[in-house]
Amino acid sequence: MNSLWSSRAASDGSAATPKPSGPADTNIEDVGPAPSDAAVRPPLPRAPQPPPPANPPDSLSLAQLRRIVAEFPRTEPIAYDYVYADTGPIEEEIDEWFMYNFWQWVRLNAANRAFHSAWGKAFTEEDWEDVDAAARRGFVKAALDGVRAKERAARGEAVGTLVYLVLGRWTETVRNATLPSVADAKVKSAATKVQMDAMKDGVQLLSDCGGIPIVWGALRDAFEPFWSDELPQNLQLQAEELIHLMTIMYIAMQEVLDDPDEMESVQQELLALNPNLVYFMLHATAKLRWDDAYVLPQTQVFLLFWKSILVVFGGSKDIAETKRAVSESQGDDKEKETITASPLDYHVFRQEITSKYPAYIPPRPVIPLEAEQTSLLPQLHHQPTRSNTANGILPGPSGQSGGASILHQPVHIATPAPSPPPSPGVGGKGGKKQNYQTNQNFPFMYPPLDATSNSAGGKGGAGLQDLLVGRRWEGSDVPASILEAGELFSKRVRMTRTMRQLWDEREKFLKFERGWDGADDDIVDELDLSSLTLEEKEELGLLKPTSGEEEKKDSDAEVDYGPRRINQRTKERLDAVEEFYKEALPHLQSLVIVLLKAIVAIASNLIPPGQNGQQQPPPPGQNNGRMNGGPPQGRPQDAPSGLNGTGKDDLASPSDSDVDEARSREIGAKAVTGIMILLLKWLKISHVLKFEYMTQLLLDSNYLPLVLKLFALHDIQQVVESKTDRIEQSFFYFCGSRAGVIPPGGIPNPTSTEFEDDSEDEAAPPPIKRRRSPTESDIPQSSSPPNVPAGVGATSPPSVSRPEVDELGYPVNPLPKEPITDFSRRNFFALINYLRVMQKICKHKAHRNLLMVQYKSSGILRKSLKVPQQELRLYTLKLFKNQVPYCGRKWRQSNMRVITAVYLHCRPELRDEWLAGSDVDAEVEEALPLEQALRSLTHWFNMRKYPDKMAAEVRAALREEQDFFVRELDKIDLNWAEVEGDDASVRLDWEHDGGW
């Protein structure tokens, strides 16, 4: 034994090297000091080896690795001064409500005259600031009485008075105000603090006088003529009244969103309106589906609907608070940056580990899923049951075996020892080298040695190993790493609200499908309970609750408030979302179609306005030539589109209608995407199947190919840098010009100098402009045309290169020293929302991700990674992560930088196998059945909870499918006449006696 552990002296005669230690150490005593050098076997001679290279080509030195880590960007480069938020500054939001056209200024001037006319009748010499608060309230109440008048002229004057009040009484307030430097490129609005304060005071005064419900009622009445089969004859007057009433409500909601604490009383009045703000605006928006004449201001309707959702439900901050209040766990793991796992992931992990280590008993799961279950959705009847887990540890039976046990198959279980190599081929040339490894698809058959190892199969190899090792294994048959993994996995499992709701609905659906949970109210009604006492009825559970108790029980059962107590405001939000979904269910498809029609209008007008000297026609759904651009009659379609009929010679004018149309499309996209993302978020908080129903409608309405087309045909960076805002055409600039204090510095003023407002005839045509609008020849060639984005057109000068980054976030060209402020914030908002909605539709849905792969979306979405904006890049990478498993190895090899960016920026999960899923074929096979199962469960959910909102034919079909036993007997196709010894009388007696 001494020769086994003899030490070999070093070549230089130094001390012996220590003997190896580790698991192979034994209890054999040391053999004493090392023998002399003469007793040591001489080393074998070796050929001289060349020195190793300093830096091998396939490895990194420590210095290189440290340099790479040090140079890696810790944060996203900030190139644009943009932070994603629900709304922008209140000045910009109010400016976006008003379009750039002549007839709008005519309406505002008419409102100005109406206010001063009414004020002059009530107060001869005093101004607004000279009278006390009681006099002002009396004046506002008189105007509100006029709003309820039946005469159109009196009602129009009263509505105009209130519009001028809530817009800040611009001719008085702006006259002595401190104006911003509108010549500065960084200034986005010409609003003054004095006017903004006057607007807030006007909204508060209107609320104190009880005017918001009155204006709301007048607005609902103003919508009615546009929903009738025949449009009214005085359409222009109706349109002006409608837009004025919408303006009052929009300003009130915008003030509440800007300062909810100070405007709390106004918010309470808005929330108490009947019908609810969101309900009515839902109907008004859905009815645009049949507005073929485009007589309603669609952009304003979208904006009003969007703001009503923010007021009634809440924005991103309120969504985060509500999610924390109704979450299943106390803490927020995302804030702690804890990597978690879902119960379904843990279930798959348990199946894999127990199939490989049968002796291992992992911790109990959170939900009792069946062993073969790979999804929380109920399996369809035609869906084959897979006996393997989601990742194929135990593959299903092959077609040749016919489902027989694996023990009866002629298979070879690979041992840890490698198999012998194959015989060389003919001619002495060796065959292709192969790898021989342990077959991981079979259980671990050879646990470590224990006390019974010597008795298993004789003393053979086990006895020799026992002699060499000298000690026996006293631990568990399961490796410690597996035990640790099971404990870690079970502690990181989080049951989310979404998963719990889906599991509950799945259980209810299975009970309903199997006839366990049928409604028995009709049977109880038919029973004669007159002979039973009150106590007997209570004991048998046959006593029906009173109407008040039943209504309270149904209300509590409908709304899911979470596992803990929540505050009253959160409860009101959840109730409002529940009532909205109940109201919106028959109209949700129309709403989705209307919203997507607006996106189609945007995608159909991709050429920048004014480029190549071509004028773009207004898209369907944009109606500035009607509601906001002038009367629907009296202007032919082929008439010139300038302010005063200037036509093509005025294309380069800042007031060109093309700029207004492009700006209207951008504002409409901002409102439409804001509506979609807010509805999806709130519906998911309320119930996951409400969210799934809306995503199904978006998917069926071709949202994915539509948005991909929009991204494919747009230059994303050009869209971000689009400049369609003209401060000299904005509302606050108009207010300053009417007050006589603008323009400073020679900026053109197309509002106060181009027409006079002395004439009382509102139907008169617009007068001739005093100043000729600049033409293309008047514009200096050193700058781009005002309505052409930077970098577009052959005459544009070479400008500063756009900030751009690669897939990993490294700047391609030098970033600006200071963040860029001159860009389109609403386009950033809309682009991010497009991606967020797409991500919500495709997340964890194999069928929809396969559609994205089929649409070749990866090449389209790569353009979004070039823009150095955090949210835009993040949601683009999330979309890449969804479809990477289905793209193939060749695509992954050519897109490794994108995959690396996904690893660096997307939040991982404990079981995150998005890159190398081992059973992708199974996921592809189950993609369509799971999509059908989700749609079936969603349809059943809507039928169960909202039967009165569904069609009568659908309810009847559900009742026919409810009887499980009738369906089973139909499958058997039993014929009573063929039963031996059966006759009609016996069968009737059997049925009468309650047989079966």
User: What would the pLDDT profile of 694-726 be if each residue is shown by its tens digit?
Assistant: 999 999 999 999 999 999 988 888 888 888 888
What is the rounded average pLDDT of the residues 1-23? 40
Least Cα distance to 98 among 202, 177, 189, 183 occurs for: 189
Euclidean distance between CA atoms 283 and 299, whole angstroms: 15
Euclidean distance between CA atoms 769 and 749, whole angstroms: 11
Euclidean distance between CA atoms 386 and 995, whole angstroms: 38
Question: pLDDT (tens digit, 9 = 90+) per residue, 796-809?
Answer: 333 457 888 888 88
pLDDT at 8: 39
Q: Which of 487-491, 608-612, 743-747 has the highest mean pLDDT?
A: 487-491
Residues making up the chain, counted from first to last: 996
pLDDT at 436: 55
Contact partners, residue 370, CB within 8 Å, separation at least 6: none
**Greater pLDDT, 536 or 22:** 536
pLDDT band for 648, please (50, 70, 90 cuts).
very low
pLDDT band for 221, please (50, 70, 90 cuts).
very high
pLDDT band for 920, please (50, 70, 90 cuts).
confident
Question: pLDDT (tens digit, 9 = 90+) per residue, 816-861?
Answer: 888 888 888 999 999 999 999 999 999 989 999 999 999 999 999 9
pLDDT tops 60 at residue 533:
yes
pLDDT tops 50 at residue 88:
yes
Tokens found for residue 593: 């179609």
What is the rounded average pLDDT of the residues 338-360? 85
Contact partners, residue 47, CB within 8 Å, separation at least 6: none
Euclidean distance between CA atoms 626 and 360, whole angstroms: 74
Tokens found for residue 404: 């027989």
Are 194 and 174 spatial neighbours (Cβ–Cβ below 8 Å)?
A: yes
pLDDT tops 70 at residue 876:
yes
Helices (DSSP H) in 17-87: which residue ranges?
62-71
Tokens found for residue 519: 């409604």
Euclidean distance between CA atoms 702 and 707, whole angstroms: 9
pLDDT at 986: 44
Least Cα distance to 326 among 579, 573, 695, 674 occurs for: 573
Tokens found for residue 965: 């036993």
Q: What is the pTM of this model?
A: 0.75
pLDDT at 462: 54
Question: pLDDT (tens digit, 9 = 90+) per residue, 388-417?
Answer: 433 333 334 343 333 333 333 343 334 444
Contact partners, residue 877, CB within 8 Å, separation at least 6: 865, 898, 901, 902, 905, 906
pLDDT tops 80 at residue 872:
yes
pLDDT band for 273, please (50, 70, 90 cuts).
very high
What is the rounded average pLDDT of the residues 340-364? 86
pLDDT at 795: 34
pLDDT at 244: 95
Question: pLDDT (tens digit, 9 = 90+) per residue, 51-72?
Answer: 555 544 445 677 766 676 666 6
**Region label for 93, one of left (φ > 0), alpha (ψ between -120 and 50) or beta (otherwise):** alpha
Are 73 and 810 spatial neighbours (Cβ–Cβ below 8 Å)?
A: yes
Q: Is 805 helix (H, G, I), strand (E, B) or coil?
A: strand
pLDDT at 206: 94
CA quadruple 705, 710, 712, 714: dihedral, nearest 10:
180
Tell me which amino acid residue 473 is. Answer: W
Least Cα distance to 493 among 354, 352, 328, 377 occurs for: 328
Please state which of the ranges 129-138, 461-470, 643-652, 864-873 shows the lowest mean pLDDT: 643-652
**Greater pLDDT, 952 or 242:** 242
Tokens found for residue 510: 């299975």
Euclidean distance between CA atoms 444 and 704, whole angstroms: 46
pLDDT band for 342, please (50, 70, 90 cuts).
confident
DSSP state of 80: B
Percent of all residues in the chain with a pLDDT value above 90, rounded to a whole number: 33
437 alpha-carbon distance from chain centroid: 45
pLDDT at 636: 34
CB count, 10 Å around CB of 889? 8
- Between the two ends of the chain, the Cα-to-Cα distance in Å is 82
Please state which of the ranges 218-227, 608-617, 671-680 shows the lowest mean pLDDT: 608-617
Are 686 and 581 spatial neighbours (Cβ–Cβ below 8 Å)?
A: yes
Report DSSP letters for 894-923, one per residue.
HTHHHHHHHHHHSPP-TT--SSS-TTHHHH
Helices (DSSP H) in 209-297: which residue ranges?
211-227, 235-258, 264-271, 277-286
- Residue 306 phi/psi, 5-degree rounding, is -60, -45
- For 298-356, what is the HEC assignment? HHHHHHHHHHHHHHHCCCHHHHHHHHHHHCCCCCCHHHHCCCCECHHHHHHHHHHHHHH
pLDDT at 335: 59
